């Protein structure tokens, strides 16, 4: 068994066609077919059922595909990390989610450049989830995101928790109330914008006695607009609530009356400005579109969005300790509460 055979099998399995796999890999169809046959002969197992179109994997093929594709991804990660170790890049490539750009990221970069005037920093707007893959491939050296990730290659530092605020149009009936309760917002259309959802294992039970008759398991929907209200005799579905804002409401036993899902935070705030609904955003966003939008505090202390710093466990870019110290200096200057942490190089 060799890597060529395994890569041929993965291409065929991904594309379910010898001709598409040949185009993707740049190999001829007879070569691909020969590599697959050799692999099957070596293993003594039929992996691909060739008698159906599109091609099907056999049951053994499905098992082998799942396991071997994870191993091949690891090989790619190790190869890319080894290359970086032997020739570390001088530039620092930073991945970030848009909400941290509105917050302290520009100030942090300015601070880092004060102590490292020659540093080259590249910023990439990339979702929390995609940051994990980008770290492994070497596309970025560090990621700032809002979600914890359990991944054997990644170490994460929780930088701080940022309070969520309610964003309402200035004309909204609740706009004048300084401190808001989630239950009072439940009759509004809630605009959802997160690209990354919570892992199912972190979803929890409601925090206190339910205020409405719904639970934190709501009818799941991917539709851009949907009603969540349940009639009194309707059974809630058992699907866990993984969308972060819905999850927050669900922790208080609240299911917003209606939701609209949009592609990003800017669009969400655009809809709020147009009076199409309300949303919750981290406090750093409170200076955006203030001609049309007011931002109000939430009474609930746990209504926060965390900020995580992610990097690889085995390869910490030499400038990352300076970056962390720049972050802590910014926090100290602004009086932001944080718990100091440092990186460990685990080998
Ligand atoms: C923060 O808002 O805490 C933050 C944002 C970007 C980078 C580091 C920290």
Q: Are residues 17 and 79 in the same domain?
A: yes
Q: Tell me the mean pLDDT in the region 23-41.
A: 93
Average pLDDT over every residue of 222-240: 54
Q: pLDDT tens for residues 110-121? A: 999 999 999 999
| Number of domains present in the structure of the chain | 3
* Dihedral angle over CA of 35, 36, 42, 44, nearest 10: -160
Tell me the Cα Rg of the chain.
Answer: 24
Dump pLDDT digits (tens) for 335-347. 998 888 877 654 4
Ligand 1: residue whose CA is nearest its atom 6: 105
Q: Is the pLDDT of residue 295 over 90?
A: yes
Ligand 1 atom nearest 336 alpha carbon: 3
Q: How many CB atoms lie within 10 A of CB 334?
A: 9
> Do 293 and 168 meet the contact criterion of CB atoms below 8 Å apart?
yes
Say if ligand 1 is within 6 A of residue 108 CB. Answer: yes
The SS3 call for residue 263 is coil
What's the pLDDT tens digit per position in 120-155?
Answer: 999 999 998 899 999 988 899 999 999 888 888 899
Mutation choice for ligand 1 from 159, 284, 338, CB with most ligand atoms inside 8 A = 159
344 within some domain: no
CATH code of residue 173? 3.40.190.10
The residues that bridge with 329 in the sheet, in sequence order, are none
Is 254 in contact with 186 (CB distance < 8 Å)?
yes
Comparing 238 with 290, the larger pLDDT belongs to 290
Residue 267: beta bridge partners? none
**CB of 97 sitting under 6 A from ligand 1:** no
Residue 54 clears pLDDT 80, i.e. is over it: yes
Is the distance from the beta carbon of residue 8 to the nearest atom of ligand 1 less than 6 Å? no
Query: What domain range includes position 116?
Result: 91-160+306-334
* CATH number of the domain encompassing residue 22: 1.10.10.10
Mean pLDDT of 69-77: 89
In which band, very low, low, confident or very high, does the pLDDT at 168 lie, cut at 50, 70 and 90? very high
In-domain check, residue 325: yes
Cβ of 166 less than 6 Å from ligand 1 = no
On whether both 48 and 141 belong to a single domain, the answer is no
Q: Whose CA is nearest to atom 7 of ligand 1?
A: 105
**Long-range contacts of 227-236, Cβ-Cβ distance < 8 Å, separation of 24 or more:** 227/257, 227/258, 228/255, 228/256, 228/257, 228/258, 228/259, 229/255, 229/257, 229/258, 230/255
Percent of the chain with pLDDT over 70: 88
285 secondary structure, DSSP code: G
């Amino acid at each position: 068994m060799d890597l060529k055979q395994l890569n041929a099998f993965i291409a065929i399995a991904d594309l379910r066609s010898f001709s598409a796999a040949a185009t993707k890999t740049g190999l001829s169809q007879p070569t691909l077919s020969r590599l697959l046959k050799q692999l099957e002969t070596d293993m003594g197992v039929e992996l691909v059922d060739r008698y159906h179109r599109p091609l099907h994997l056999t049951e053994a093929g499905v098992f082998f595909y799942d396991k071997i594709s994870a191993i091949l991804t690891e090989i790619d990660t190790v190869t890319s990390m080894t290359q970086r170790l032997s020739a570390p890049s001088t530039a620092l490539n930073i991945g970030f989610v848009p909400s941290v750009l509105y917050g302290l990221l520009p100030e942090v970069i300015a601070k880092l450049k004060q102590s490292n005037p020659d540093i080259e920093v590249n910023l990439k707007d990339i979702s929390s989830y995609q940051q994990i893959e980008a770290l492994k491939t070497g596309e970025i050296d560090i990621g700032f995101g809002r979600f914890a990730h359990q991944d054997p290659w990644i170490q994460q530092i929780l930088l701080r928790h940022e309070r969520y605020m309610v964003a309402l149009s200035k004309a909204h009936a609740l706009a004048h109330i300084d401190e808001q309760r989630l239950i009072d917002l439940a009759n509004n259309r809630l605009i959802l914008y997160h690209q990354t959802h919570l892992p199912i294992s972190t979803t929890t039970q409601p925090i206190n006695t339910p205020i409405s008759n719904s639970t934190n398991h709501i009818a799941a929907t991917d539709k851009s607009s949907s009603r969540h209200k349940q009639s009194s005799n309707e059974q809630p579905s058992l699907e866990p609530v993984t969308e972060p804002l819905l999850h927050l409401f669900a922790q208080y036993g609240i299911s917003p009356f209606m939701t609209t899902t949009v592609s990003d935070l800017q669009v969400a705030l655009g809809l709020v400005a147009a009076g199409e609904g309300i949303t919750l955003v981290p406090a750093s966003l409170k200076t955006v579109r203030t001609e049309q939008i007011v931002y109000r505090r939430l009474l609930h202390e746990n209504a926060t969005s965390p900020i995580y710093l992610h990097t690889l466990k085995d390869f910490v870019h030499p400038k990352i300790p300076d970056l962390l110290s720049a972050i802590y200096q910014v926090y100290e200057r602004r009086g932001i509460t944080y718990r100091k942490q440092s990186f460990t190089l685990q080998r």
